[in-house]
Amino acid sequence: MGLRFSSAMEFPRASIEVEHGGVMANYHILVVTGASGAGKTTAVEALNARHVPGTRCFFFDSIGIPSIEVMERDFGGGEQWQAFATAEWLSRLSALPEDVRVAVLDGQTRPSFVFDAAASAPRRSVHVVLLDCSPDVRTMRLTGARRQPELASERMNNWAAYLRGQADALHLDVIDTTSLTVTEVAARLETLVRRLIA
């Protein structure tokens, strides 16, 4: 079952890179993940607006999110859908033309799903960076400008803690956005992207 992708267009310690054939590709996929309220979509949008040469930004949710019923019926549950969609994204990004040196994907997905799906992107090295923030700031953002108070829950805090645990276990880069402006977060992402391009 395929997905329809729209054409529209989360510091560095030691990003995990997945090698193919023992030789690191010259082209990259950077997945920016994090819980709701961490600021990843806003930061990736700000990065996109910087028009970094060789970089193109994509947004996981642009494909649409199936209902819980559809996830259960067609994929066996939400986690299975997330894993499937992650693999589909990496496959599509791997096939981008060579003028796209770094494909940046904003997506609320598990880092383990990204690396499990890395074989779907044989032409590109895969990297993950986590955007995180304090629970208080997450609640403020979700109940304020985001106007999504239903997401400001203990479940979301637990999800954020899980992602932070995965990042620590996999030695991923983590950008704590708690006290950073959008411009500052975008600047850190740009630094990482330019390092990959170089």
End-to-end CA distance of the chain, in Å? 37
CA atoms of 27 and 115, how far apart (whole Å): 16
Residue found by looking up tokens 């949008």 in the block:
45
Answer positive or negative: Cα dihedral of 85, 87, 91, 93.
positive
CA angle 86, 10, 158 (to 5 degrees): 75
**C-beta neighbour count of 143 within 10 angstroms:** 15
Tens of pLDDT, residue by residue over 115-162, are 999 888 888 999 999 999 999 999 999 998 778 888 878 989 999 999
CATH of the domain spanning 28-197: 3.40.50.300
Please report, for the chain, the start and end positions of each structural domain, with discontinuous segments joined by +.
28-197
Query: What pLDDT does 120 receive?
Result: 80
Residue 24's pLDDT is 47
Question: What local confidence, expressed as pLDDT, does residue 9 receive?
Answer: 29
What is the per-residue pLDDT for 153? 85
Split the chain (198 residues) into runs of 10 and give each run's mean pLDDT: 34 39 69 94 96 95 77 81 90 92 94 90 91 94 84 88 93 95 96 92
For helices 182-197 and 40-49, give the axis angle rounded to 10 degrees: 60
Q: What pLDDT is recorded for position 28?
A: 94
pLDDT of residue 32: 97
pLDDT of residue 19: 45
pLDDT of residue 25: 57
Q: What pLDDT does 91 receive?
A: 92
The amino acid sitting at 181 is T
3-state secondary structure of 191: helix
pTM of the model: 0.84
